[in-house]
Structure 1
């Protein structure tokens, strides 16, 4: 696997949006470990507990609580600050929330990104920027074929459509402003991420953990659905390797998928839930269909381009990802420190690589 270059990251001034979220908190911990100077920009956590609070992520960053939907607030927060690299992870990330709140979702995911990019145009020292979208950006006819970066974008639900629209917005800013100024601006399309510290509502791992702690069965809407499951360590490592490459190699592609290794078996929601409840000794899951759901049944992405161009591919298959995730939650529930658990997993991942 392509390695993160500690010498490259040491002292880099990184703007990390979404640092109060699940993946953003892991990214902040990893960047701090690499020696980067991290400024976080996001809303306050929207759930309790949160990894951001449990791991004390605020103490690892210069934390700015800002709503990306407020253009003036974004520009004021960044005024007078200089950044070398930007990792834009802030978003409204929940599919069911997007269906219930489509206007707010488009405002955050599309216009929030536009506000950020507009504010970044004055950053004279900027070397590269990476915006995180989703594996759901593709027009999905549910044929079971894994989507590649050149496939058509689309979205039949507000979340998917907002992420596809974000891709187009980023491309327009890249071609109009950033690339002419010599600043690579790219997008990363990550798979369905699981890992320790995810307490978000309507997320499979968080639902399993909550059900186990309340001694109730977890309820699944679509146990037959398949997803490109990926551990947060693989996902965040991919993003950081990609951002490092963008800053050092002008030939790096401007859009990449990140997901499980190709050729592995498709893992359904039900299979993943079974692994999770068995690991925690929880009750078996229960199926409650949602006939109004717009969520895709089949989703897969082809991460081969990241392997060929970055030398990066995921290392943790679904069973290993579930085992690591449930071990983190079990140990944290037994009183171990959340930040220490994250650092331990990151160190082991780096050592194995």
Structure 2
């Protein structure tokens, strides 16, 4: 069972987009802990509080508040940074905001991805690119079958469609330009991610923490929706191992799913009931699934490719994921240093064995 190699990342020049976001801040923290030299491109943090600020990510990275829709600015930063590895996480990452701003979502997720990949052209230092998309890139027929990397792409809503389109952009740049340049390019499709340090709007666990800390009832729109929940360190470990492998073997370029074991996919209601039990307080109002725009009711991923080729296997089951997530928020609220909390989770994850 493969864990990221600290020795590999020591001294590596890494370009990380989206480093002010939830997953991006965790990624920046982990990379810098291993001794990587990280250049970040992102918009300013979109919530208060936020992990980027609490973990002092600006102080440990070469941080640029730049919109990935600005092709010239992105190109200039990448040329100056001369990265060996590019990790593209920046995105408009939510379904409901995608309905509210479809053009902004397409501009960020499609053209933003094209801008990053186009900026890599001619930068000879780059050996590997991992571009992160989502589990929602698949044409979801909700049959109960877990989706594999070679299944049809689709997207009912603007967010899902934008991410499916970005997969075509990634494949096009890989095949048309970057493979010839010697750059190995892969896309990473991850399931629903939870963990300490997320305060974004319209996300399940952050919404729960906000409501329960304010003595408000948490409203759940679709309690029966099934998703492949995983702790944030699970996909990040997968992205990093994938980047290591691509750096050494360009034949691995392609798409990879990262998620929990299929049987660990769970309903929103199950996640909230477990989170409520661990947190120790808070009420919930259960909706009937009719409120709001369309969202998929059932989604799960087949992860055998990542297991067989990368030796990346999930480490924490759903209960431990939720316990660690809610415990993070409780300890942070009680005054425990954010660096200690993130470092402790990374250390525990690195020690974990397959369940």
Q: TM-score, normalising length from structure 2?
A: 0.97
Which residue matches 1:323? 323
Which residue matches 2:204? 204
Corresponding position: 1:216 with 2:216: yes
Query: What secondary structure sits across from 1:222 in the alignment?
Result: coil
Taking the TM superposition and a 5 Å limit, the aligned residue runs for 1:228-307 are 228-262=228-262, 264-288=263-287, 289-307=289-307
Structure 2 unmatched ranges of 5 or more: none
Taking the TM superposition and a 5 Å limit, the aligned residue runs for 1:109-188 are 109-188=109-188
Report the count of equivalent residues: 352
Cα deviation code 1:119-168 (max 9, x no counterpart)? 11121111100000000000001111100000000000001000000000
Structure 1 unmatched ranges of 5 or more: none
Quick check: 1:129–1:185 contact (8 Å CA) kept in 2?
Answer: yes
Query: What secondary structure sits across from 2:216 in the alignment?
Result: coil
Query: What secondary structure sits across from 1:144 in the alignment?
Result: coil
Displacement after TM superposition at 1:332 (Å): 0.1
Which residue matches 2:5? 5
Which residue matches 2:341? 341
Quick check: 1:226–1:266 contact (8 Å CA) kept in 2?
Answer: yes
Q: Provide the C-alpha distance between the structure 2 equivalents of 1:133 and 1:48, rounded to a whole number of angstroms.
A: 25
Quick check: 1:211–1:282 contact (8 Å CA) kept in 2?
Answer: no
- Shift of the 253–82 alpha-carbon distance from structure 1 to 2, 3 Å rule, reads closer
Deviates more, 1:314-323 or 1:249-258: 249-258
Quick check: 2:259–2:314 contact (8 Å CA) kept in 1?
Answer: yes
Which residue matches 2:225? 225
Which residue matches 1:37? 37
Q: Provide the C-alpha distance between the structure 2 equivalents of 1:117 and 1:86, rounded to a whole number of angstroms.
A: 9
Quick check: 2:228–2:264 contact (8 Å CA) kept in 1?
Answer: no
Q: Provide the C-alpha distance between the structure 2 equivalents of 1:273 and 1:140, rounded to a whole number of angstroms.
A: 24
Cα deviation code 1:29-80 (max 9, x no counterpart)? 1101111101111000011111111111111111011001111222233333
Displacement after TM superposition at 1:220 (Å): 0.6
Q: TM-score, normalising length from structure 1?
A: 0.97
Quick check: 1:274–1:284 contact (8 Å CA) kept in 2?
Answer: no
Deviates more, 1:102-111 or 1:53-62: 53-62
